[in-house]
Amino acid sequence: MRVNDLLEARAVDMPRKEALVCGGERYTYRQIDEEARRVAGMLHDAGVRPGDRVAVCLENSADAVVAIFAVLKARAVFFVVNPHARPAYRDHLMSDSGAAAVVERDASGKPVVTPRTHPRCNDASGGSADVDLAALVYTSGSTGTPKGVMLTHRNLTFAAQSITSYLYNTAMDVILSVLPLSFTYGLGQVTTAFYAGATLVLEPSFIYPRAVLDTMRRERITGFPIVPTMATLLLQQDLRMHRLPHLRYITNAAAALPVAKTRKLRAAFPRAELFLMYGQTECQRASYLPPELVDQHPDSVGIPIPGTSADVVDGELLVRGPHVMSGYWNDEALTSKVLGRDLLTGDAVLHTGDLFRTDANGLLYFVERRDDMIKVRGEKVAPRYIEEVIARLRGVSEVSVYGVPDDLCGEAVVASVRPADGSALTADEVRRHCLAHLEPFMVPKVVDIRSTLPTSANGKVSRRALRLLTMRRGASAA
Amino acid sequence: MEALIQELRTFIVDNFLFGDGSGRFAFANDDSFQQRGIVDSTGILELVCHLQERYGISIDDAEIVPDNLDSVTKVARFVERKTAERVARAS
């Protein structure tokens, strides 16, 4: 089954069913399908051929959903880029993917297809992408250079089927998502909603929680996927003011929900089921905690999603199943590091790099990441990448970047900087430089200028020591 | 209103753009913070705290909505209205 079959089947069996509600506009399955067919024609006219990569550079909107399905109808491969992405990041994705075209807004705000003049320049596969490849989802590597996770039609449709089975999604569901479509968690809302024939209400962001809550009540939302930062913002609202009698479930993923927040969410929405889930882009979703266990095991992420397995081997979580990616785009070396083969079955085995433990009941518990990656609002941030950017600024002698616990963001990025001798470098200069060269969520929340950076026994700057110094100072200041 | 708009712009530039409101970061007073990616969820909370402290107004959760806060002009109108309400209550 191809991902676009999900939409096409709905357009036939429930053409007038509402598929999407976005910015006050409502679209049926048939309308989305017809629009997608029209845009697929535009892509073809722009020279897009099967296997080509196409960037969808649009915010959460009906246009973005239409563009995704249009690319798939054209038998091409889509990837979603945040339209606010910094030019350097966007350029990197364009050249890494060898994109043949971009769907973006013109000056009047209308979505248009822009062919790229020098496509395929960086394309090691010679443009002959696997016919089953549906999407590239870019995620930060440990060096910070974004890598394209290759997800096939089978990967995406299998995950949609598996996830809807444990969430019990049906055509009665109305799901509200503020998650960006450039993430598998956000993209998955489209595929699961369409798989179930449900209605998806797509909102651009959670900057104004109150406005989202109003929409939730008005649209009789039954399913609400969140990340921990949203839980924090949600719990700051006077939730007694917002009766959401239709809300059937809330899901959390992208980062662990602290136990205290889990308990508060349960108290605030006693009639909604809370699903704590774990995944990574490389397999979309690996596990979920059946909601009836959340009060006893609020720190667990549960069991493998249906039809897959997840085992802790030497402390690391290994994931097997039809949801595991086919590899990283144009990076066989990295692919072979994380993807193994099961010697008995020949199935792909994903080495998550995340350390886990299990309890006597076989429930999974996340322990920590094996690398230094920081998770800010559910997004992965590579310290090395930020260090390289800051090191390019004049007046910087040494820099170390690390994460500290943060109530709202989960972790906050901190940069400790030693200025060059005689330099009058300020924290604002460093932050401004970062803002110009990094995505906003990567910009250090705190820039800590100091005359020396502590080193470990081997002479390298110690992130661990700096983290402790910063946290101690934070605690005494509070 | 003009002075208020200027003051609010300065706050946005200093706090969310770290002092650089020109070039790629240039924005018009009617530009949506949300659409331009200028302010995120944390930023809105910082903005609300600042407005409460600087202008002595109290902002209810129910007022943290795009109509009141999503551009420099909207914030300025909102602050004027809240200030007028406070003055009216005091007299």
Give A271: exposed, middle or buried? Use CB within 10 Å, 0-12, 13-18, 19+.
exposed
Contact between A301 and A259 under an 8 Å Cβ cutoff? The reply is no
Instruction: Report the candidate in A373, A395, A375, A407 with the shortest Cα–Cα distance to residue A447.
Output: A395
Q: Which residues of B touch A209 (CB under 8 A)?
A: 41, 64
What pTM did the predictor assign? 0.86
Greatest Cα pair distance, chain A, in angstroms, is 72
Strands A25-28 and A18-22: antiparallel
Over residues A396-418, the pLDDT tens digits come to 999 999 999 888 888 999 999 99
Q: Which residues of A touch B66 (CB under 8 A)?
A: 208, 211
CA dist A277 and A52 (Å) reads 33
Over residues A31-71, the pLDDT tens digits come to 999 999 999 999 999 999 999 999 999 999 999 999 999 99
Q: Which residues of A touch B46 (CB under 8 A)?
A: none
Greatest Cα pair distance, chain B, in angstroms, is 46
Q: Which residues of B touch A409 (CB under 8 A)?
A: 42
Mutation choice for B interface testing from A205, A218, A377 by most B CBs within 10 A: A205
Query: What is the interface size between A and B, counted as CB pairs within 8 Å?
Result: 58
Arithmetic mean of pLDDT over chain B = 86
∠ Cα A391 A395 A399 (to 5°): 35
Over residues A425-448, the pLDDT tens digits come to 999 899 889 988 888 889 999 999
The residue of chain A with its CA nearest to that of B22 is A436
Does this complex have an ipTM over 0.90?
Answer: no
CATH of B2-90, one of 3.40.50.2300, 3.30.565.10, 3.40.50.1820, 1.10.1200.10: 1.10.1200.10
Domains located in chain A, CATH noted: 3-366 (3.40.50.12780), 374-477 (3.30.300.30)
Give the gap in angstroms from C-alpha B86 to the nearest C-alpha of chain A: 23
Rounded mean pLDDT, A216-245? 90
CA atoms within 13 A on the CB side of A151: 31
Mutation choice for B interface testing from A203, A207, A216, A238 by most B CBs within 10 A: A207
pLDDT at A320 over 80: yes
Contact between B63 and B72 under an 8 Å Cβ cutoff? The reply is no
CA dist A448 and A430 (Å) reads 10
Arithmetic mean of pLDDT over chain A = 91
pLDDT at A123 over 70: no
Predicted pLDDT of residue A460: 79
CB spacing of A409 vs B42 below 8 angstroms:
yes
Predicted pLDDT of residue B43: 82
Size of chain A in residues: 478
Cα-Cα-Cα-Cα dihedral sign, residues A390, A395, A399, A403:
negative
CB spacing of A233 vs B41 below 8 angstroms:
yes
Predicted pLDDT of residue A125: 44
What residue spans define the domains of chain B? 2-90
Over residues B79-91, the pLDDT tens digits come to 999 999 888 888 7
Strands A146-152 and A133-140: antiparallel
pLDDT at A475 over 60: no
